[in-house]
Amino acid sequence: MDLTFVILVEMLYAVASLVLISAGLAVVFGMMKVINLAHGEFMMMGGYATITAVNLGVNVFVAMLVIAPLVVGLIGLVVERLVIRHLYGRLVDTMLATWGLSLVFIGLATMIFGNTTTGISTPIPGFAVGGYQINGYNFFIIVVSILLVIGIYAVLRGTRAGLIARGTMQRADMAAALGYSPDRIYMATFFCGSALSGLAGAVLAPLVGLVPTSGGAYIAKAFITVIAGGPSLIAGLVSSATSFGVISQIFTFAISPVIGEVALLIAAVVLLRTMPQGITGRFFKGKL
């Protein structure tokens, strides 16, 4: 019984961390069609922003939930103004440019923070469930992910800004004809996407040893989740994160972590073979 609960929590946690890792990319790639290969590095910078702020004496939750998204969002803003805005609609060129950016960010982080592993300890203690100990921080990540999904949904669905953003992503020319500036809307959307990546990196920072190259560990999973999710932003994100998280955890518990990772990749291949448009290309059609 206790074990069932522990496994359930671990599964929820796996799903939540996939949602977290992919949310920023879902906005930047899913909505804006910008292949951001520097997504992992945005997360890495979120982690460093958190650690730096904590070392300067800032409360760890403020550092994770406020400072890191702001810092990375601003970095994203600069990147968008200098590089990305010249490349909208040029898929291959953005790939090359953002890959270059990822190298630049790794280099800069190495220069500033050095190439040694850094980190902070988790702010929430573990607790016992029957005979098992669970990492209390897992619940924090689950809660953050749920709030994040609700937040994105509320903004896109319920606010005028969200409506304008969605409209612009679909038909920039129509939005312009109605008097909105696509340029500025793209800029704001990229800021939000970067901030989400920064938040993900920040929230995951206490669980990992951070090095400037840490971003590489996330990028593949993020792309797999977003692409398998398909055209709908939120429904896609949640459905693909759930399928992959559950599948990989089942195999991790039943066999081993390596097989868990393998199962995730095989699931992705099968999924894209049977549903080339992604999960939401077939189910939940037309949902947000």
Partner 1 sequence: MSLNRRELLGGAAALTTASLLPNVTLAADAIKLGSILDTSGIFDAYGKPMDMATRLAVAEINEAGGLLGRPVEVVAYDTQSDMALYSQYGQQLTRQDRVDVVHGGILSASREAIRQTMRKSKTLYFYNVLYEGGVCDRNIFINGVTPAQQVEALVPYAMGKSGKKVYILAADYNYGQITARWIEKFVNDNGGEVVATDFFPLDVSDFGSTIAKVQTAAPDLVIAPLVGGAHLSFFRQWAAAGMKDRIALASTTLGVGNEHKVLTPEEGNGIMCAYNYSQELDTPENAAFKEKWAAMFNGDQSMHEIAVSQYHGLMTWAEGVRQAGSIERDAVIAALETGISITGPGGKVTVDPNTHHAVLDVHLMEMQDQQMRVVETLPQRQPIDTQAVCDLSANPDDNTQYEIEI
CB 132, min distance to partner 1, A: 5
Comparing CB distances to partner 1, the nearer of 128 and 177 is 128
Burial class (CB in 10 A: 0-12, 13-18, 19+), 265: middle
Could you identify the residue written with the tokens 């953003």? 165
CB 15, min distance to partner 1, A: 12
Comparing CB distances to partner 1, the nearer of 17 and 168 is 17
CB 20, min distance to partner 1, A: 12
Q: What is the DSSP string of 100-150?
A: HHHHHHHHHHHHHH-SS-B----SS--EEETTEEE-THHHHHHHHHHHHHH
Comparing CB distances to partner 1, the nearer of 77 and 110 is 110
Comparing CB distances to partner 1, the nearer of 31 and 210 is 210
- Distance of alpha carbon 167 from alpha carbon 221, whole angstroms: 28
Comparing CB distances to partner 1, the nearer of 131 and 286 is 131
Going through the chain in order, the beta strands assigned E by DSSP cover: 127-129, 132-134
Comparing CB distances to partner 1, the nearer of 52 and 135 is 135
Comparing CB distances to partner 1, the nearer of 121 and 274 is 121
- Distance of alpha carbon 41 from alpha carbon 106, whole angstroms: 7
CB 17, min distance to partner 1, A: 7
User: Looking at the chain, how many residues does it have?
Assistant: 288
CB 243, min distance to partner 1, A: 17
Answer whether 60's CB lies under 8 Å from 123's CB. Answer: yes
CB 121, min distance to partner 1, A: 5
Binding site for partner 1 (CB under 8 A): 3, 6-7, 10, 13-14, 17, 115-119, 121-122, 124-128, 131-138, 206-211, 213-214, 216-217, 249, 252-253, 256-258, 260-261
State the DSSP H helix or E strand holding residue 177, giving kind and residue range, or none if neither.
helix 172-177
Burial state string for 7-20 with b = 16 or more CB within 10 A and e = fewer than 16: eebbbbbbbbbbbb
CB 28, min distance to partner 1, A: 23
